[in-house]
DNA sequence: CCAAAAGTGTTTGCTCTACACCCATGG
DNA sequence: CCATGGGTGTAGAGCAAACACTTTTGG
């Protein structure tokens, strides 16, 4: 492979993934208990070294599958963290990804390699985490909130069929603020990004709620409000 | 440094920088003529290997200084490109940055290492470029346009003192559309991110134009228009 | 029958957009 | 004096925000 082109003291390269899901009233992220030093026994976000012949996206996908059993979740590159001191072992640069899954997909924890101890933590009750993973999680949370406002990534938090109340609750949890029911419903219906399934769901009490599904043919990206239009 | 922790077949890591400036009526990017294989004699964006003990940001800054002589330009991480086949030498992952400079700062080309041949190309008249640098430039351009709409990065394209007409022209060039003069002036003045210098500039003909300066104490970030507020 | 949640319109204020003329200046 | 470009305000349309009651259902 090499022909004297490359420096020999190259950094090691990892991918790390911040995986989000929605609990009843909180946004949660998956943490893995580290089985090896450094930070043995501490919590960390899932991740690992990039193999020689795989793309970064593929590496993130593979690590996620190995450590959680999940496939086909939403996955997007976040930022690359390369502080020389971020890993006590030496120089390790990590390409961070953020991922979004539904609560149903993530119902049975640690579906990945059996030896792996994993747990979901609400974002405002994180334990001490290894490396600079706290920064990474914070950054990912900010990005999720941001993308929720102008893309349709929010639907990845919900199952395929959902009620408008559930959708609104999901938005409220991530954005951290109350939304007006009538305005919310009007906007989202007018945007044309969801459609009726024709089915209904009954709760404990009260009338039945119409079920909707996300229209993945809808290309939706809100334009940013310009500073100077 | 290592203790058997790390894989030995780790990828090499570079930084590459897309540097923008404004010519009279175009957005331009700096290209370097490669003196070594691979792609010897072809154009490429400035960049190089990350040293063992420097952060990614520092590496980008250093490469930019070495290859252009520029310091203190706006520099922001863009995206990390890691396709296994993007470099014919073997596995090279690159952390791309984008940078913005004023035309004045970049007036004397190739102020860096003397051996380096550099040139500015308008974005719509790029030559063939090495590696996947065309993708990187495209991505950076998109990001610049985008950030111009909701941050104050646009001021980095202009000298410290500028007229409103110059500012509007800069916006029009990057956004690729005409803006209404009265609306533009009103908005930007109401936003409070520039202030009068009290000085004036005379052109060849016509009245003198007031000079403004950017208020760097102004924290300006427009909120995105929500999909579902 | 009662508690809980679903569903539904209108008004008001604000923001965005479109648009045209006068005047100062340098040559 | 004239060509060039700087500077200025208003009216109309569309969008966003605030707001409360009726209906359905399961227990």
What contacts A20, CB < 8 A, 6 or more positions away?
Answer: A27, A28, A29, A98, A99, A100, A101, A140, A141, A144, A157
The mean predicted confidence, pLDDT, of chain B is: 90
pLDDT at A217: 81
Quick check: A1 pLDDT over 50?
Answer: no
Greatest Cα pair distance in chain A: 73
Interface with A, mutate which of B50, B58, B82 (most A CBs under 10 A): B82
- Identify the helix (H) or strand (E) that includes residue B63: helix B56-68
pLDDT, tens digit, 9 for 90 and up, residues A70-96 = 999 999 999 999 999 999 999 999 999
Quick check: B53 pLDDT over 50?
Answer: yes
pLDDT at A222: 62
Interchain CB distance below 8 Å, B52 and A9? yes
Q: How would you label B53-74 residue by residue, b for 16+ Cβ within 10 Å and e otherwise?
A: ebbbbbbbbebbbebbbbeebb
pLDDT at B150: 83
Interface with A, mutate which of B80, B158, B175, B176 (most A CBs under 10 A): B80
Q: Identify which has the larger pLDDT, B224 or A206.
A: A206
Give the three-state DSSP class for A187.
Answer: helix
Cα separation, B222 vs B220, whole angstroms: 6
Quick check: B172 pLDDT over 60?
Answer: yes
CA–C1' B183–C22 (A): 18
Global pTM reads 0.92
Q: Which nucleotides of C are covered by protein (CB under 7 A)?
A: 3-10, 16-20, 23-27
Provide mean pLDDT across the span B171-183.
94
pLDDT at A109: 60
Chain center to CA of B35: 23
Q: Which of A20-24, A106-110, B164-168 has the lowest mean pLDDT?
A: A106-110
Q: Which nucleotides of D are covered by protein (CB under 7 A)?
A: 3-10, 16-20, 23-27
Among left, alpha and beta (phi > 0; psi -120 to 50; other), residue B47 is left
Greatest Cα pair distance in chain B: 73
Q: How confident is the model at residue A210 (pLDDT cuts 50, 70, 90)?
A: very high
Residue among B3, B13, B91 minimizing CB distance to A52: B91
Residue among A84, A171, A223 minimizing CB distance to B53: A84
The proportion of chain A whose per-residue pLDDT surpasses 90, expressed as a percent, equals: 76
Give the three-state DSSP class for A96.
Answer: strand
Q: How confident is the model at residue A6 (pLDDT cuts 50, 70, 90)?
A: confident
Quick check: A129 pLDDT over 80?
Answer: yes
Cα separation, A134 vs A39, whole angstroms: 14
Cα separation, B90 vs B9, whole angstroms: 11
CA–C1' B174–C16 (A): 22
What are the structure tokens assigned to A55, written together? Answer: 């793309």
Provide mean pLDDT across the span B128-151.
94
Provide mean pLDDT across the span A36-59.
95
């Amino acid at each position: 492979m090499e022909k004297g082109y490359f420096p020999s003291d190259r950094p090691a390269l990892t991918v790390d993934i911040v995986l989000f899901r929605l609990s009843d009233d909180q946004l949660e992220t998956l943490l893995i208990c580290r089985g090896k030093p450094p930070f043995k026994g501490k919590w960390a976000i899932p991740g690992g070294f990039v193999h020689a012949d795989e793309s970064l996206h593929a590496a993130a996908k593979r690590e996620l599958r190995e450590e959680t059993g999940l496939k086909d979740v939403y996955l997007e590159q976040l930022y690359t963290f390369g502080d020389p001191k971020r890993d006590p072992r030496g120089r390790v640069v990590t390409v961070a990804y953020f991922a979004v899954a539904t609560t149903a997909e993530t119902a049975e924890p640690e579906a990945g390699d059996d030896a792996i101890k994993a747990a979901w933590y609400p974002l405002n009750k994180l334990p001490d985490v290894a490396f600079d993973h706290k920064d990474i999680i914070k950054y990912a949370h900010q990005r999720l909130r941001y993308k929720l406002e102008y893309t349709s990534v929010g639907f990845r938090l919900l199952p395929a069929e959902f009620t408008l109340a559930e959708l609104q609750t999901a938005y409220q949890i991530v954005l951290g603020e109350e939304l007006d029911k009538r305005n919310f419903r009007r906007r989202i219906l007018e945007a044309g990004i969801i459609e009726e399934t024709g089915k209904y769901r009954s709760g404990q009490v009260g009338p039945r709620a119409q079920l909707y599904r996300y229209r993945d043919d809808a290309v939706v990206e809100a334009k940013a409000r310009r500073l100077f239009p």
